[in-house]
Amino acid sequence: MADGPSRRIQVDLSGHVALVTGASRGIGRAIALALGRAGATVACVARNEEKLKETAGAIEAAGGKASVHLCDVVDSAAVQSTLDAVVAAEGRIDIVVNNAGITKDTLLPVMSDDDWDQVIAANLRSVFLFTRAAAKVMMRQRSGRIINMSSVSGLMGNPGQSNYSASKAGIIGFTQTVARELAKRKVTVNAICPGFIATDMAEALGPAIIDEVKKRIPMQRIGEAEEIADAVLFLASDSANYITGQVLTVDGGMTA
């Protein structure tokens, strides 16, 4: 991972326990690394054991503490078991970042039932399952941060992504509702909407498409995964104690 600009957000999360889904690559990996660098113990969750071990290894190499948890994020029993294992090992859970997600893009007339169901499950059901499991612990603690990864596609739509856009818009409504339910127990729930971010999936589109995308962004560049991680660090920090039910868009002005 590139070090990025030297003037990054500085947050002290020492003593905090974080769980990040989709931590094996891309934005999830950047978030897990940032939380680890900030002092949090990070439970890295995904289905690719090799990639998860790479993420955990990078956190530990930087002096942090991390654990690897293989989990099918759409399986209710597996999600509860994963959350229980983290709490049993660490005694608490302070931060949950629901980042796992997939795309299966195609235009609506030819979209299959499976393409719809799989994206809704991976992107929205997983958020519900981990939030429900974590909320029970955080309510007892009377503290916690839940940060859900939505997308600008959930704000403005995108042709060929009716399933993805629906799932990401659903995350926003879910976030705002749960924020109201948990606020009295000092648990904050917020969403982040990344714009076009430099990841392996983005690179696979090729330079011509990326150049076209840049023309639609007022800042004339695509974002870095570390910039999304910075937003997570802020929402996980004490500086965000009075922020809940909000949607933070990080897109270089694309939806302005």
Catalytic residues: 164
Nearest to 155 by CA among 28, 252, 26, 247: 247
Phi, psi of 145 (to 5 degrees): -130, 125
Element (H, E) at 66: strand 65-70
String of DSSP letters for 99-111: ---------GGG-
Rounded CA separation 131/148 (Å): 9
Nearest to 179 by CA among 137, 140, 144: 144
Rounded CA separation 22/4 (Å): 21
Rounded CA separation 41/32 (Å): 9
Q: What is the CA radius of gyration of the chain?
A: 17
To the nearest 10°, report the CA torsion of 106, 109, 115, 120: 100
Rounded CA separation 177/89 (Å): 30
